[in-house]
Chain A
Amino acid sequence: MLQLVCIKQVADTETRVKVAADGRTLDPTGVTWIMNPYDEFALEQSLRIKEKLGAGEVVALSLGGAGVLTTLRNALAIGADRAIHLKSDAAQPDSLQVARAIAAAAKDLGAQIVWFGKQAVDDEAGQVGAMTAELLGLPAVTVIAAMELDGATVKLEREIEGGREVIEVPLPCVLTADKGLNEPRYASLKGIMAAKKKPIEEKPAELGEPNLEIVSMTLPTARAAGRVVGEGVAAVGELVRLLRDEAKVI
Chain B
Amino acid sequence: MSILVFIEQRDGKLRPVSNEALGEATRLKAALGGPVVAVVAAASDPGTASLGTWGADEVLLATHESFARYEPTGYVAAVVAAVGQVKPAAVLFAASAMGKDLAPRVAARLGVGLATDCVALSAEGARLTATRPVFAAKAVQTVRFPRSPALLTLRPKAFASVEGSGSATVTLLPVAVDAAAAKAKVTGVAAAGGGKVDLTEAEIIVSGGRGLKGPEHFAMIEDLAAALGGVVGASRAVVDAGWRPHGDQVGQTGKTVSPKLYVAVGISGAIQHLAGMTSSRCIVAINKDAEAPIFKVADYGIVGDAFEVVPALTEAVRKLNG
Which residues of chain A have a CB within 8 Å of any CB of chain B?
11, 13-17, 19, 26, 37-38, 94-96, 99, 121-135, 139-143, 145, 157-170, 173, 178-180, 209-220, 223, 225-233, 235-237, 239-240, 242-244, 247, 249-250
Find B309's partner among A211, A225, A228, A232 (CB 8 Å cutoff): A232
B196-A162 in contact (CB<8A): yes
Stretch touching chain A among B47-55, B82-90, B161-169, B275-283:
B275-283
With A231-B304, A232-B308, A239-B313 already in contact, the answer to whether A211 and B134 are too (CB < 8 A) is no
| B214 within 8 Å of A (CB atoms) | no
Q: Which residues of A contact B191 (CB under 8 A)?
A: 162-163
Stretch touching chain A among B18-26, B56-64, B103-111:
B103-111
Find A240's partner among B73, B190, B320 (CB 8 Å cutoff): B320
In the bound assembly, the distance between CA atoms of A214 and B145 in angstroms comes to 9
| B116 within 8 Å of A (CB atoms) | yes
Q: Which residues of A contact B104 (CB under 8 A)?
A: 95, 126-131, 134
B116-A125 in contact (CB<8A): yes
Q: Which residues of B contact A132 (CB under 8 A)?
A: 108
In the bound assembly, the distance between CA atoms of A232 and B296 in angstroms comes to 18
With A219-B140, A240-B320 already in contact, the answer to whether A159 and B247 are too (CB < 8 A) is yes
Q: Which residues of A contact B111 (CB under 8 A)?
A: 96, 211
In the bound assembly, the distance between CA atoms of A201 and B192 in angstroms comes to 44
B134-A213 in contact (CB<8A): no
| B125 within 8 Å of A (CB atoms) | no
In the bound assembly, the distance between CA atoms of A9 and B141 in angstroms comes to 19
With A123-B134, A168-B185, A219-B139 already in contact, the answer to whether A236 and B316 are too (CB < 8 A) is yes
Chain B's closest residue to A131 (CB) is B108
In the bound assembly, the distance between CA atoms of A142 and B153 in angstroms comes to 16
B101-A15 in contact (CB<8A): no
Find B317's partner among A125, A130, A169, A240 (CB 8 Å cutoff): A240
A13-B144 in contact (CB<8A): no
| B6 within 8 Å of A (CB atoms) | no
- Give, as a whole number of angstroms, the nearest-CB distance from B106 to chain A: 8
Q: A124-B116, A161-B96, A236-B313 are known contacts; what are 14 more A-B pairs with Cβ within 8 Å?
A: A17-B138, A37-B253, A96-B107, A122-B134, A124-B133, A127-B103, A134-B76, A139-B73, A164-B190, A164-B192, A169-B185, A212-B114, A231-B304, A243-B282
B139-A218 in contact (CB<8A): yes
Chain A's closest residue to B197 (CB) is A162
| B1 within 8 Å of A (CB atoms) | no
A237-B316 in contact (CB<8A): yes
Find B116's partner among A11, A127, A140 (CB 8 Å cutoff): A127
In the bound assembly, the distance between CA atoms of A39 and B104 in angstroms comes to 18
Q: Which residues of A contact B305 (CB under 8 A)?
A: 232
Q: Is chain B's interface secondary structure helix, strand, loop, or mixed overall?
A: mixed
A179-B192 in contact (CB<8A): no
| B271 within 8 Å of A (CB atoms) | yes
In the bound assembly, the distance between CA atoms of A178 and B249 in angstroms comes to 12
In the bound assembly, the distance between CA atoms of A242 and B189 in angstroms comes to 41
Find B145's partner among A129, A166, A213, A243 (CB 8 Å cutoff): A213
- Greatest chain B CB density within 10 A among A37, A126, A214 is at A126
Find A161's partner among B72, B140, B201 (CB 8 Å cutoff): B201
In the bound assembly, the distance between CA atoms of A128 and B105 in angstroms comes to 9
B189-A215 in contact (CB<8A): no
- Give, as a whole number of angstroms, the nearest-CB distance from B102 to chain A: 8
| B46 within 8 Å of A (CB atoms) | no
B147-A233 in contact (CB<8A): no
- Give, as a whole number of angstroms, the nearest-CB distance from B111 to chain A: 7
In the bound assembly, the distance between CA atoms of A15 and B120 in angstroms comes to 25
For this complex, 18 residue pairs linking A to B, each with C-beta atoms less than 8 Å apart, are A26-B135, A124-B135, A127-B104, A140-B184, A142-B101, A159-B247, A173-B183, A210-B146, A217-B134, A217-B141, A219-B139, A220-B137, A226-B301, A227-B300, A229-B301, A229-B302, A236-B312, A247-B300
- Give, as a whole number of angstroms, the nearest-CB distance from A172 to chain B: 10
With A121-B252, A240-B313 already in contact, the answer to whether A127 and B302 are too (CB < 8 A) is no
Chain B's closest residue to A211 (CB) is B113
- Give, as a whole number of angstroms, the nearest-CB distance from B183 to chain A: 4
Q: Which residues of B contact A214 (CB under 8 A)?
A: 141-143
A95-B183 in contact (CB<8A): no
| B290 within 8 Å of A (CB atoms) | yes
- Give, as a whole number of angstroms, the nearest-CB distance from A142 to chain B: 5
- Greatest chain A CB density within 10 A among B76, B139, B198, B247 is at B139
